[in-house]
Amino acid sequence: MTEVEKYRGKSRAQAIGEAGLFGMLYTLTAPVRRVVDVAVPLFRPFAWKSVGALGAASRAGWWVPYFRLIPSLPRPFRFRTNPVLGPWPEWSRPVPEGLRSYPGYLSDPSAEDAAFAAKPLRDFLDHEYPEIGEWIRRGIWRSGFFVKPRLQRALRAIFEASQLQPQRAEKPPAPDALTAEIKDLGLQLRLSAVGVAAYDPKYRFKEFFEDEAGHDRVIVCILEENYGAQQTAPSVRSDRATLSTYADIMTRQVKIAERLHRYGYRAYLHDVDGQALTIPYAVAAGLGQLGLNGQLLTPYAGSRCRIMLISTDAPLVPDSPVDYGVPKICDNCRACVRRCPAKALSAKRAFYRGVWKAKLNTARCVPVLANNHDCDICTTVCPVQRYGLPAIYDEFERTGSILGKGTDDLEGYDFGGRHYGPGQRPELLKEYFELPVLSQLSRPEPDTEQAASSSIEPAR
C-alpha cells in the first residue's frame, strides 16, 4: 500500500493527525506547542542573528566537523517528518485515452545545444545569485537547525564516497545484469524509485563540469516525502520533512556508490545543494513528467519527493521516458496556477532553452518562497501529490474531470495565519516583491495567471 492509498478517502486533517501512538502523544502536547508557537516569534530577532552567525561559521569550515557530531533524535521520534520508506509498486496502468500525450517532455535538441553553447547553466543560489541564496537559507533557519547534524553527516559521507578511487574487488556483471542489480539495491535500501539516464553536460552546472569527466551514465534516486507534513505546507514541519528526506536519500546513495566501487567503477554523488538539474534526468529515466508547476510529477507522489543523482562510468542501460498523461492532467487542472500566492505560475507553455514548458516567474516566486518556509503550495494543491495517478485515472474515466479540482480538500491552504479556500488567495502588497536583495533578479512580470493556455502543441 502506498502512502497516498493509506490516506485516500480521509480529510486533510485526518491525514495530518493520524500517526498511531506518537500521534496521540503529539495531540496531548498541543498546549505546550501552542506556548512555543507564541514564544518563538518573540525571540526570533535574536535567534536570527545567532543562527546566521553559526551558518556563516559552518560555511567558513571550522564549525562543520563539530556539528556532525551532535546526536539526532531516534527515528521513531521523528515520525512527523520521516520520509516514506519502501519502493513504489511497478507502474503498469495504461493512460486513459483522453489524457494521452507524449513520453517525457517535448524539446528541440538543436535549440537546447545552442542555448548551452551560448550560456551554460550555473548554480542558481551559490553562483548566479549568491546573495539571494544566503537570504533564502537564513529564512529557513528554524526548519533546518535540528536537521543540520544529520544533513552534515550525510554530506560528509557522500563527499568521501565521491573522492574515493575504486579498486576492483569483483568482476562486474554484464551491463543488463549490472543495471538490474543497482536498481534492486536501491529498492532494498527502501528508496521509492531508481532509474538510469544517459549523462548530458547540458544539465550540469558550469562550476562542476570537471567532477564528472568520463562519466556517461546517471543513476536517478527518488525518495517520497512525509505525506502528512506536505499537507501542512507552508510550515516548519513541511520544511523539516524536506530536509529530513534529503538526509535519508543521501545516506542511501553512499551504499549504491559502494557497490559500483566494488566493481571498479567511479561514482560522483550529488548533494542537497545540487550540481545539476535533476528533473531532465528523472524524466529521461521514465520516473515522471514535467508539470505546469515546473516540478517532476511522479505517478504515486507527484512532486512530494526528493531527487538525487549519481553519475558514473559504469556501462548501465538507460531507461526511456514514459507518458503518464501529466501534460493533459495539468491542462485540465491548473490548480497550481490558480492557487499560487505569488501569481508566479503560468498555464502558457513555450520553448525555453529548447524545452517546451511553462516558465516560472522567479522574481515573484522567490520572495514568497524565502519568507514562507519554502512555500510549496504548488505541490500541496497538486492532485497527483494528493491522490496519486491511479485515483486520478479512475475519476477521469468515470466523470471526465480531475479528482479534487475546485474543492477545499485539495485547493485549500493556510497562509499567514489564515485559511484560503478555492477562489481565495492572499493579496500581497507590491512592496513584498521589492526587497533590496531581489535587485539581482529581473523586475516581476505582470501576473501570469491570465495568460492564455497553450493547448496547441508543437509538431512531434
pLDDT at 457 over 60: no
pLDDT in tens, 259-272: 999 999 999 999 88
| Reported confidence tier of residue 452, pLDDT bands at 50, 70, 90 | very low
Q: How far apart are CA 310 and CA 253, in angstroms?
A: 8
Output the pLDDT for position 335. 96
Which grid coordinates are listed for 92? Answer: 503498469
pLDDT in tens, 56-74: 444 445 555 566 667 777 8
The pairing of strands 349-352 and 267-269 is unpaired
Residue in 150, 134, 121 with CA at minimum distance from that of residue 352 = 121
Range with the lowest mean pLDDT among 87-91, 143-147, 222-226?
A: 143-147
Q: How far apart are CA 40 and CA 47, in angstroms?
A: 9
Residues found in the chain: 460
Q: What is the CA radius of gyration of the chain?
A: 22
pLDDT in tens, 292-344: 999 999 999 999 999 999 999 999 999 999 999 999 999 999 999 999 998 99
Task: Compute the Cα dihedral for 23, 385, 424, 342 and give only its sign.
Answer: positive
Output the furthest CA–CA distance in the chain (Å, rounded): 63
Does the bond joining 436 to the residue before it have cis omega, within 30 degrees of 0?
no
Q: Mapping DSSP to helix (H, G, I), strand (E, B) and coil, where does residue 30 land?
A: helix
Output the pLDDT for position 136. 66
Output the pLDDT for position 447. 46
Range with the lowest mean pLDDT among 146-155, 171-180, 194-203?
A: 146-155
Which residue shows C-alpha cell 535500501?
189
Residue in 121, 118, 88, 102 with CA at minimum distance from that of residue 195 = 88
What's the angle, vertex CA 436, arms to CA 435 and CA 440, rounded to 5? 110
| Reported confidence tier of residue 381, pLDDT bands at 50, 70, 90 | very high
**What are the backbone dihedrals phi and psi of residue 100, each rounded to the nearest 5 degrees, phi first?**
-70, 140
Mean per-residue pLDDT, 353-369:
87
Output the pLDDT for position 71. 76
What's the whole-number average pLDDT of the chain? Answer: 82
Task: Compute the Cα dihedral for 53, 54, 60, 63 and give only its sign.
Answer: positive
pLDDT at 208 over 70: yes
Amino acid at 178: L
| Reported confidence tier of residue 374, pLDDT bands at 50, 70, 90 | confident
